[in-house]
Amino acid sequence: MKQKKQAPHLSLVKNAPTEKPTWIPPLNVEEISSRLDLLWQQINHYFLRIEKKLDDKSVVQRHEEITQEIKNLKSLLAKQTHDNTLPIIEKKPHTHNTILNGVQSLIKKVIQKIPFLGRPLLNAEELSLEKSFDPFGRDPEFEQKLKPFFDFMYYRYWRISTHGLENIPSDGRALLVGNHSGTLPWDGSMLRVAVSNDHPSQRDVRFLVEDFVYYLPFVGTYMYRVGGVRASRDNAERLLESDHLVAVFPEGVKGIGKHYSKRYHLQRFGRGGFIKLALKTNSPIIPVGIIGAEEIHPIIYKSSFLAKPLGIPYIPITPTLPWLGPLGFIPLPSKWSIFFGEPIDLSKYGKKALKDELLIHQLSEMVRQNIQKMITEELKKRRSVWTG
């Protein structure tokens, strides 16, 4: 009698014990597709690190097999729903691509020489895979080691003052919506330090980070480990439904990469995704105005053409980059202030508002103007970029 052929299962290590994951059944095909994307991103992240350590062709082959299997699953989803527009995963350029390897090698050498930050970043990349993380890659032990550095940047270097912390609830979910700037996402890190250090309840904040950051050598791993979360609707919903404080920056890349001449002029807030997120999870919105981050890496020019091979939206040119070499990565010591506005409750609109695109746009613009007004009023009181 022929034995039934067992269906293959995905495993990062051959014959490794498998545990049944906690799975919440998705409600529709889009959510299944989104979860497959998230799964592939996580698998890809760890496989690249394994390949780098082992240099084993069988690992590379297994990586490609799993990538193809996830592609096939997404194709099946598209066929089942007669929808050929569902995104099919395209594998990122392989790590053995000589040009990309050369660029990454150069970046690694540069990062090694960055004062204060180089060694922790390299340690993050070389971390053993057996170490425990939370579901989003956060490493509390690593955070604790870096806390003196972040406290120094917060209290001594940028001398950050906070206003309106009482507007953040002592428990329960909330969506912190702020302006974005600074070329690198220091504003998310400092917002997190502000709430965890100075709020009476010392609450934890998880901040969403633009996707391109996770394709940068070392920086992606570093952002995971210090509590950053890849920006996606699914990730944000999971955090809010667990009653976390979540910080979002709706300006996205347009905000963090704007020219210095446009500083403190908030860019368009996308398509109102954060409003839909607040409505769907019944989360209050807390407007956040950050002053000081615009001046740490003032962009005077940026190149999109040179950035394409690296998979990033632009390469910034600032008064210090690239002229000072590795020293150019050191942010300027501007004086920061962070303002937390009164919570905005959207519960009166109900979930039926999720289908009203006009209302979504109006609410998004209302929040944007709220933050812009807060920043403009506080800038009038500012005497100096360096002393506040």
In a shared domain, residues 372 and 244: yes
pLDDT at 7 over 80: no
pLDDT of the residue at 5? 47
Strands 245-248 and 205-209: parallel
Q: pLDDT band for position 43 (50/70/90)? A: confident
In a shared domain, residues 142 and 276: yes
In a shared domain, residues 43 and 130: no
Element (H, E) at 174: strand 174-178
pLDDT at 54 over 80: no
- Domain span at residue 140 reads 116-380
pLDDT of the residue at 213? 75
In a shared domain, residues 149 and 34: no
In a shared domain, residues 55 and 135: no
In a shared domain, residues 286 and 239: yes
pLDDT of the residue at 230? 87
Q: Which residues contact 161 (CB under 8 A, 6 or more apart)?
A: 336, 337, 338, 388
Residue 166 is assigned to a structural domain of this protein = yes
Residue 4 is assigned to a structural domain of this protein = no
Backbone angles phi, psi at 138, to 5 degrees: -75, 140
How many domains does the chain divide into? 2
- Determine the average pLDDT of the residues in 63-81: 68
pLDDT at 369 over 80: yes
In a shared domain, residues 149 and 177: yes
Backbone angles phi, psi at 309, to 5 degrees: -60, -25
pLDDT at 44 over 60: yes
What three-state secondary structure class fits 128? Answer: coil
Q: What is the CATH number of the domain that holds 173?
A: 3.40.1130
- Determine the average pLDDT of the residues in 12-18: 42
pLDDT at 185 over 80: yes
- Determine the average pLDDT of the residues in 88-109: 48
Cβ atoms of residues 367 and 189 within 8 Å: no
Average of per-residue pLDDT values in the chain:
79
Report the range out of 132-136, 204-208, 235-239, 281-285 with the highest average pLDDT. Answer: 281-285
Residue 387 is assigned to a structural domain of this protein = no
Residue with tokens 């329960």: 172
pLDDT of the residue at 77? 67
- Determine the average pLDDT of the residues in 89-111: 49
In a shared domain, residues 41 and 152: no
pLDDT at 75 over 80: no
In a shared domain, residues 169 and 314: yes
Residue 101 is assigned to a structural domain of this protein = no
Residue 22 is assigned to a structural domain of this protein = no
Residue 154 is assigned to a structural domain of this protein = yes
In a shared domain, residues 75 and 40: yes
Residue 362 is assigned to a structural domain of this protein = yes
Range in 85-89, 257-261, 262-266 the model is least confident about: 85-89
Measuring CA to CA, how many Å separate 286 from each of 64, 166, 177, 255?
A: 43, 11, 6, 19
In a shared domain, residues 184 and 49: no
Range in 41-45, 260-264, 327-331 the model is least confident about: 41-45
In a shared domain, residues 88 and 122: no
Residue 351 is assigned to a structural domain of this protein = yes
Inter-residue long-range contacts of 47-50, CB under 8 Å, 24+ positions, other chains counted:
47/12, 48/95, 49/125, 49/129, 50/12, 50/129
- Determine the average pLDDT of the residues in 371-387: 96
Report the range out of 73-77, 309-313, 333-337 with the highest average pLDDT. Answer: 333-337
